[in-house]
Structure 1
Amino acid sequence: MAINRPYGGPTELPRAIPLFPLEGALLLPRCQMPLNIFEPRYLAMVDAALAGERVIGLIQPIPALVTTANPALQNVGCVGRITEFAESGDGRYLVTLTGITRFRVVAEVEADTPFRQGEVDYTAFEGDFTPGYGAEEVDRATLLRTLAAYLDANKLEADWSSITEAPNEALVNALAMMSPFGAREKQALLEAASLAARADMLVAVTEMAMARTGGAEGEGSLQ
């Protein structure tokens, strides 16, 4: 998905951004995430984003604390730009976020908005602004071999022509985002130090999942 506002580095993004806590959600740079927004405070968040910089910080709550109204948040999230927006007609917003870069939360901002806001720092993730950064270090063969084994064990289908044609960055990040793993694994994939490290972690958690279950976890398709 094209983005009308390219970002060349940390200084081009606001330091204070809306925070959208969403357990088990993983957004990565140059990837897209559709969101169905219906809670009043998050409808207000989208309104504010559209009126301003059009960016929202997607971040996971800490798993043990998600039962509280305002749970503690992980230290690292990913900021995305609203690149698609529609009203549903029944009070919901249908939004697509396109990932820009990861961020680290410095502090939450005291604000009179119904949604949470954070002061964030992007400098640890400057490589996120460069498409394909570190892609040549990815062990693509091992990643594809592990994916094939997982699909075969679970009787899943995939569009292999699209998979084989995808560049390393798009392949690794798309597989990480659609992976069926829990919140902790998704956070680890987000915080991976490099694209190659994310690919290696994806291989490791997939192999561990297959070892625990004997390979099979269900039937369906992976598009």
Structure 2
Amino acid sequence: MTPKVALPDTIPVFPLPGALLLPRARLPLHIFEPRYLAMLEDCLKTPSRLIGMVQPCAGPTAGPGCDDNHLHQIGCAGRVTQFSETEDGRYMITLTGISRFRIRGELQGFSPYRRCEVRWDGFEKDTGPEEHDPHFDRKTFMGLLERFFILKGLDTDWDSLGDTDDELMINSLAMILDFAPEDKQALLEAPCLSTRRETLVTLIEFALRGGKDEEILQ
């Protein structure tokens, strides 16, 4: 279960293309830009220590799902649970996913980083117990995943991965596999673990087809 954290109405946001954070998962980040160093310093002074990870839209004409400042409306807030400073003043931090949020609007001011008013309603299950996927065909999924890893030249500890709980496996793969930012957003917005797994399978199958709508490569 996600640790109980007070969810404020305003949080700093970190727009980072392709960086996906999901509830109960952990995301390592390397902080070095001055504006984000300031964001981290301010964040550590707050009780919640929350930073909102959000995908920038592809551009001004990205269409539905983006606000006027070209951020996707839905992101995920993480609590800073680990941090260390390097000798040259950079930080290595870990965010633990707490809950998704919906942006209500961006605050204007003198802050060097972006801050948004957010809503948390609609994402109550994010702060509840770990999710399970009752229709998860693990054997078929692992076979599909192995073909994808071969295609991409990737490797992993297959025994350990096969023993991983449903949520940890699906969410970890959604976060670390190299999909386009818009695909990452679709994985983030999936309403439940089963839908996220189905979206993940669709993306993997599309990659195995070489991005074409034809039968999956055998």
Match of 1:188 in 2: 186
Match of 2:202 in 1: 204
Which one of 36, 53, 57 corresponds to residue 58 of structure 1?
53
> Partner letter of residue 198 of structure 1?
R
Match of 1:7 in 2: 4
**1:33-182 alignment runs, 5 A limit:** 33-52=27-46, 53-65=48-60, 72-182=70-180
* C-alpha displacement of 1:156: 2.9
CA distance in 2, matches of 1:85, 1:190: 24
* C-alpha displacement of 1:71: 5.1
Per-residue CA distance 1:161-196 (angstroms, 9 max, x = gap): 221111100000001001111111001110111110
The alignment-based identity, stated in percent, is 43
> Partner letter of residue 100 of structure 2?
R
2:109 is paired with a residue of what secondary structure?
A: coil
* C-alpha displacement of 1:130: 1.8
Q: TM-score, normalised by structure 2?
A: 0.87
Q: TM-score, normalised by structure 1?
A: 0.85
1:63 is paired with a residue of what secondary structure?
A: coil
> Partner letter of residue 159 of structure 1?
D
Give the conservation status (yes or no) of the 8 Å contact 1:16–1:117.
yes
> Partner letter of residue 20 of structure 1?
F
> Partner letter of residue 7 of structure 1?
K
1:58 is paired with a residue of what secondary structure?
A: strand
* C-alpha displacement of 1:111: 3.3
2:17 is paired with a residue of what secondary structure?
A: coil
Which one of 16, 23, 36 corresponds to residue 22 of structure 1?
16
2:118 is paired with a residue of what secondary structure?
A: strand
* C-alpha displacement of 1:140: 3.1
Q: Which has the higher helix share?
A: 1
Give the conservation status (yes or no) of the 8 Å contact 1:143–1:199.
no
CA RMSD of aligned residues (A): 2.3
Per-residue CA distance 1:49-95 (angstroms, 9 max, x = gap): 10002110010110125xxxx95210010000001111111121111
* C-alpha displacement of 1:210: 1.1
Tell me: CA distance 1:127–1:141, structure 2 relative to 1, closer, same or farther (3 Å). Answer: farther
